[in-house]
Structure 1
Amino acid sequence: MKTIAVDGMGGDNAPEAIVKGIEMARDDFPDLQFQLYGDEGQLTKLLKNSERITIVPTTEVVTGEDEPTRAVRRKKDSSLVRAALAAKSGEADAFYSAGNTGAVLTAGVLLVGRIKGIERPGLITVFPTVHEDQQFLMLDVGANAESKPSYLHQFALMGQFYAHDVLGLDHPRVGLLNNGTEADKGDSLHKAVHDLLEKDPDINFVGNVEATNLFNAPADVVVTDGFTGNATLKTMEGTASTLMHLLKANLMDNGLRPKLGALLAKPALKKLATMFDADRAGGAVLIGVNAPVVKSHGNSDENAVYYVQKQLRAMLNHGTVQSVIQYFSTHTEETVAAAKEE
């Protein structure tokens, strides 16, 4: 039985959406149990069935307006901090929150703790592709605004473990996000990273990939620095949302024929919407810390909360974090030290 520590007060729709999503996950996954941190009165009223769900009372909440590091250090009885500490102590096996992104990342690094040998944890997000039932992941998408070549080298290694365990890929392909596919493209950072990835026999490196081609799945793991990754993530999400909005508006606001066409195309449009439903991919994973840590977007509904628990379950059942710990405990000298010399 695995235990997930949940920040019951984090997110725009908390605590109602959090409780509903956790109960959905509890009902579908009999091998999971949950510690729900937050306001005892609110959580108790919302909880319909307490089977395998324990409410842990807290007196503080980290809000979206809080400065992340200050909040983590000062709001010690907040639902976010207490849930993270449970993952640190081993009382829980994983930590989940839909709350303040900076605070979740700070708690992951400072409280749950960075894995020995990992220079910087990275943030993973999973995306759909034009190929049905095929996905790719990208990291870092925002944990580190500035990066060194050795950081991205480690991101590639950690991304491979996640792609193998959660996406079910035996030999995931790793690509470096760059401004061209040629090996000599990019600035000094990207050229150095390209050399590191190309020389590492433990990485199935397929070369540089461009942002224009990401949805065609040129790689299973796309490695980038946090600044570029975050900008790319937001551009992709914004473009997809805008296109869906424009498509719907043009079908519904241009007379009878487009409306009839939309009715006939409804199954295809629904399938397309499902493919690009970000909630189904789960939340953003902070990889490189001593327990699974996942952050979902602030306006997560119960379905988004549910899919994060499914995602965490896959990580826990496959021992993804333990695989990273084991790898870097045996390869620290030859991978990290060598990367720093580049």
Structure 2
Amino acid sequence: MPIPTTMLASVLTRTETIELERRDVPSPQRGEVLVKVTAIGVCGSDTHFYETGVIGDIVVEGPIVLGHETAGEIVAVGEGVDPSRVGARVALEPQTPCRRCRYCKEGSYHLCREIRFYGAWPIDGSFVEYAIVDDDFAHEIPDSMTDEQAALVEPVSVAVHAARRAGITAGAKVLITGAGPIGVLNAQVAKAFGATEVVISDPIVHRREFALARGVDVALDPADSDLSTYDQHFDVYIDASGNGRAIKSAFDAIRPGGSAVLVGMGGHHLEVPIALLQHREITLTGTFRYVNTWPVGIDLIASGKVDTDGIVTGRFGLDGVEEALMKAKTDPAAIKTMVIPALTHAAAE
């Protein structure tokens, strides 16, 4: 099928405003491939940019396309790329590092100061019909995986990176706060890494039920349960909520020599029990996206070790991106929302 010259793009033109525009289809340059986008997951960071225009030190200063959890099919390649890649179904790693700095050379390319990340100002994301990505960041998926599963490799990669940072190994006991998509995926990845006990806490009943159905051992309601019975019990604590109260309540439950990893996006400052951290030698760290995680994420989903069935609870076309971005806030039963370009009904002028 011939590649069109123009495409639809859902553009954040100002805070809380998405407009459907028609743009030129980009051409892949040397080392790049052009991907026809088939599925894009909605991330909490997309919603935050939509509502506020700011995440940390990233400020949206003009029109931008959001979206970074992406699957698609390669339809064209740039110079230096094997033409046989055309037709390959891929999961996109949505970042372009400089490949020359200290961090890139050390293998920590996610910390590259010049990295270009999809949907983070000023780099356009993937709420589009066609997207460009570096050839080696277009990871092929097996035929058994669906497009939606391929898009979910991105949030699974968040969990893989967190598990590595936490040092989860066989026999680990893990506590997670927040049973949204990232929390539940962290729970499943922890199990895949060898954790034998995973406890999750979330105030929303259907999220607790969803987590229990996917291998979590105990799901607590923080409104009527505390962690006092788990004093110094867990090897690893992972926060997937960004909620300061939830984070502070968890430190007593970490054993001496344990680790705490902050994944959820919360406020700029957090009060932590320094004396407790020192006396128990607890390692407290954060995560920044991911690095070298896509092959593992693909294998975890393809093997069934991470169960993605039922995680997608809503699907919208490019003309429904605004509703998709707010679905987790407007629908209490929502878990994960997908944007499927093929479902788009409207046409931009």
Give the TM-score normalised by the residue count of structure 1.
Answer: 0.34
Indicate the structure with greater helix content: 1
Give the TM-score normalised by the residue count of structure 2.
Answer: 0.34
